[in-house]
Amino acid sequence: MSDQIQIVLIAAGSTGAVGLVGMVIVRLLRRAPLRLSIQASAAVPVLAIVAGTLASAEAMFLSQHDLGVVVMVCIIAGIVAFAFSWLLGRQVASGSTALRQAARSLGDAGQFRAPALPLAAEFAALSGELADTSAKLAKSRARERALEQSRRQLVAWVSHDLRTPLAGLRAMAEALEDGLAADPPRYHKQMRAEAERLAAMVDDLFELSRIHSGTLQLAPDKIALDDLVSDVLASTEALARERGVRLAGRAAGQLAVRADPRELSRALTNLLANGIRHTPPGGCVYVEARPQDGDALLAVADGCGGIPDADLPHVFDLAWRGTAARSPAPDSGAGLGLAIVRGVAEAHHGSVRVMNTGAGCCFEMRLPAWS
């Protein structure tokens, strides 16, 4: 075996042995501070090179002077390399510390601010992800606060709406028990009406709870919108006649959607009943189904007099009832109907919006058309 091959094998063996020991040490340090891991990772190659150099120099039978020079050079090079590895580890550790301190703001419900000092590419990517997460958390907190406020308003308004009919029912029941009711059949009729009103309110609350909890079970089927419009117009005809409001509607062609018949009918009925309640006597409520940009559009236009611009973003919020321009009617409920409409539309991968149109407003529910 030639001398060159022997030297190569000695260098490779010495370097490999030190490298394997270094790998074990780095693995044991994987739970240690990042600075130590980086310093160890930088020191292992240096020690491996030094070990290979010294072993090769010893095998070459150099003179004591030459071997001492080689040893001195390796020691100086090792010290300088260790110094740079220490500086490198400290620099990386400072970036990690700054990023950790900046990340604490997420737990304190604050806004994440990226560290001002330059970061390594991986830390910079992590900082960007934390900034995106912070923005999403801020939106989530704002949405949670809005929902909590809506729930509080809902509880307050529903409590008020429940108190009024319950007080009436109690008074009428006491009058019937004491024999003070001059017209018992009229009292019975009124009690039944109040009971139906309470049942409708409880039904709306149950529907909303299913929508918000994600437990709304849909049974989608093909629905012809011309049949849907005809059925909803027929079901709300009595309410419109009582209010002195005229109903009209049409559906374009053989337009159809894939939706739950019960839920979609409920949503459209809510829109139509909402328009009837807020349209003055002699006015008209018009419902139309037409295709638009590949989707199916259900539009309900009324003569309510319009909604103030400040209220338009809140029309579909829980318990919204409007302001003076759209004051609630005595039987307007707890303001749950439009919130149900939005929940049903979104459950069908659709959307709903409202806009002012002349003497009234128009509610548009967009759903994917049957294909």
Residue 245: predicted pLDDT: 93
The predicted model gives 102-125 an average pLDDT of 68
255 φ/ψ sector (left φ>0, alpha ψ -120 to 50, else beta) = beta
Q: What is the dihedral of CA 195, 260, 285, 190, to 10 degrees?
A: -10
Q: Are residues 356 and 247 in the same domain?
A: yes
Nearest Cα to Cα of residue 268 among 232, 243, 321: 232
Amino acid making up residue 241: R
Give Cα separations from 350 to 67, 86, 297 (angstroms): 82, 59, 10
Q: Is 229 helix (H, G, I), strand (E, B) or coil?
A: helix
Checking if the pLDDT of 363 tops 90, the result is: yes
Write the DSSP string, 41-98: HHHHHHHHHHHHHHHHHHHTT--HHHHHHHHHHHHHHHHHHHHHHHHHHHHHHHHHHH
164 domain-assigned:
yes
The predicted model gives 206-219 an average pLDDT of 78
Task: Report the alpha-carbon distance of residue 312 to residue 363 in Å, rounded.
Answer: 11
Task: Report the alpha-carbon distance of residue 168 to residue 194 in Å, rounded.
Answer: 8
308 domain-assigned:
yes
Q: What is the mean pLDDT of the chain?
A: 79
Q: Are residues 184 and 299 in the same domain?
A: no
In which residue are the tokens 């010495």 written?
A: 14
pLDDT, tens digit (0-9, with 9 covering 90-100), for 238-288: 889 989 999 999 988 788 999 999 899 989 999 999 899 889 999 999 999
- Among 116-125, 209-218, 308-317, 362-371, whose mean pLDDT is lowest? 116-125
Structure-token pair, residue 192 = 């039944």
CATH assignment of the domain containing 305: 3.30.565.10
The residue segments making up the domain with residue 183 are 149-213
Task: Report the alpha-carbon distance of residue 124 to residue 114 in Å, rounded.
Answer: 9
129 domain-assigned:
no
Asked whether 332 and 277 are in contact (CB, 8 A), the reply is: yes
Q: Are residues 202 and 230 in the same domain?
A: no
Q: Are residues 164 and 275 in the same domain?
A: no
Task: Report the alpha-carbon distance of residue 3 to residue 366 in Å, rounded.
Answer: 84
Assign 120 a pLDDT band (cuts: 50, 70, 90). low
Task: Report the alpha-carbon distance of residue 130 to residue 206 in Å, rounded.
Answer: 38
49 domain-assigned:
yes
Checking if the pLDDT of 333 tops 60, the result is: no
286 domain-assigned:
yes
Domain count for the chain:
3
Checking if the pLDDT of 361 tops 50, the result is: yes
Asked whether 164 and 328 are in contact (CB, 8 A), the reply is: no
Beta bridge partners of 314: none
CATH assignment of the domain containing 168: 1.10.287.130
Q: Are residues 157 and 193 in the same domain?
A: yes
For the chain, the straight-line distance linking the first and the last C-alpha, in angstroms and rounded, comes to 80
Q: Are residues 182 and 58 in the same domain?
A: no
Task: Report the alpha-carbon distance of residue 195 to residue 157 in Å, rounded.
Answer: 18
Q: Are residues 247 and 282 in the same domain?
A: yes
Q: Is 321 helix (H, G, I), strand (E, B) or coil?
A: coil
Q: Which of 213, 237, 252 is the last residue of a domain?
A: 213
Checking if the pLDDT of 328 tops 60, the result is: no
Asked whether 329 and 318 are in contact (CB, 8 A), the reply is: no
% of the chain beyond a pLDDT of 90: 19
